[in-house]
């Protein structure tokens, strides 16, 4: 009965979509400019995102008209909650806009602000992610703390498994634990616990970073509302910012994720974080 109900939800929608991904972080992207607004219920989003009975995705994206940019990108996570930012999705949407306009640059509006997207080669895109939020109120945290290393630990008080993570907002909240060996990091065990920790009133994306060198970081993530994903663009940016603030890495870093690599440059000239990586088109379909 539950499966039939979910299929009925999908059949009730008659929208064309593209399935795309950035480093395996995958999206259902619906073009709604010049069409009626697309406002799926949380139940409908969960049905579409379900990898067993729906299409399957980490996030559902709607491309809408923007009064200030080339397009507005609306984002729902797999649990049906609307969120403000997604770096990998911004690359995909920006690439689509550039393909449609024939230009080498596009401006994508999100709830977190305007993001400039620039072509960087064959199906490679650079996004100006803007300045990171580093104040405790930017994350936000429930109480005042130094975001270089907040008072949070996992495990026994006298011998914690994880402790003192950094926090960064990249338009969405991130906490980054530094670990000696990413292969044994407890992403699936700790991620859902920290995602809903009382310190993070809006929830949080939970990252685990291993410093390989000053210009190379291995990163895995438990995404808020999506779980473990193959990559997270904003998370990769947050990992570099958090690592540099702890003097563990430089400002230009390759972030190695399960789905591939991102090039991150936290510029000194204007404090903006630049993210470069690939996009991929998987298939087209129709929600009906």
Backbone angles phi and psi of 93, in degrees to 5:
-65, -45
Two domains, one topology: 2-130+278-287 and 153-271: yes
Name the token pair of 44. 């409908």
Q: What is the pLDDT of residues 147-166, one digit of tens each?
A: 999 999 999 988 899 999 99
Q: What is the pLDDT of residues 61-88, one digit of tens each?
A: 999 999 999 999 999 999 999 999 999 9
Residue 6 has pLDDT above 90, yes or no: no
Pick the CATH number of 153-271 from 3.40.50.720, 3.10.310.10, 3.40.190.10, 3.40.1710.10: 3.10.310.10
Q: What is the pLDDT of residues 233-242, one digit of tens each?
A: 999 999 999 9
Q: Which residues are catalytic?
A: 86, 232
pLDDT of 13:
52
Name the token pair of 195. 């995602």
Percent of the chain scored above 70 by pLDDT?
95
Name the token pair of 11. 């059949």
Provide the CATH topology of domain 2-130+278-287: Diaminopimelate Epimerase; Chain A, domain 1 (3.10.310)
Among 10-14, 76-80, 119-123, 213-217, the least confident range: 10-14
- Please give the average per-residue pLDDT across 118-144, as a whole number: 97
Residue 8 has pLDDT above 70, yes or no: no
Name the token pair of 30. 């619906």
Domain boundaries along the sequence of the chain: 2-130+278-287, 153-271
Among 10-24, 106-120, 135-149, 248-262, the least confident range: 10-24
Mean pLDDT of the chain: 94
CB neighbourhood size of 120 (10 A): 17
């Amino acid at each position: 009965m539950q499966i039939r109900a979910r299929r009925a939800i999908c059949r009730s929608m008659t929208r064309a979509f593209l399935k795309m991904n950035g480093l395996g972080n995958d999206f259902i992207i619906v073009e709604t400019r010049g069409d009626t607004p697309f406002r799926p219920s949380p139940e409908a989003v969960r049905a579409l995102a379900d990898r067993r009975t729906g299409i399957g995705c980490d996030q559902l994206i709607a491309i809408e008209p923007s009064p200030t940019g080339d397009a507005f990108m609306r984002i729902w996570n797999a649990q049906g909650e609307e969120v403000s930012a997604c770096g990998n999705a911004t690359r995909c949407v920006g690439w689509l806009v550039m393909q449609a306009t024939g230009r080498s640059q596009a401006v994508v509006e999100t709830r977190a602000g305007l993001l400039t997207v620039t072509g960087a080669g064959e199906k490679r895109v650079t996004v100006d992610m803007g300045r990171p939020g580093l104040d405790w109120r930017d994350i936000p945290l429930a109480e005042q703390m130094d975001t270089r290393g907040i008072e949070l630990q996992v495990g026994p008080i006298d011998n914690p498994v994880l402790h003192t993570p950094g926090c960064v907002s990249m338009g969405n909240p991130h906490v980054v634990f530094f670990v000696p060996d990413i292969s044994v990091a407890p992403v699936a065990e700790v991620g859902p616990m920290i995602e809903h920790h009382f310190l993070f009133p809006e929830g949080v994306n939970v990252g685990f970073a291993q410093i390989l060198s000053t210009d190379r970081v291995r990163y895995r993530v438990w995404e808020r509302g999506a779980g473990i994903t193959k990559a997270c663009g904003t998370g990769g940016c947050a990992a570099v910012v958090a690592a540099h603030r702890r003097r563990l890495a430089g400002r230009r870093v390759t972030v190695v994720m399960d789905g591939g690599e991102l090039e991150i440059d936290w510029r000194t000239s204007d404090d903006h974080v630049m993210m470069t990586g690939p996009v991929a088109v998987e298939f087209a379909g129709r929600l009906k």
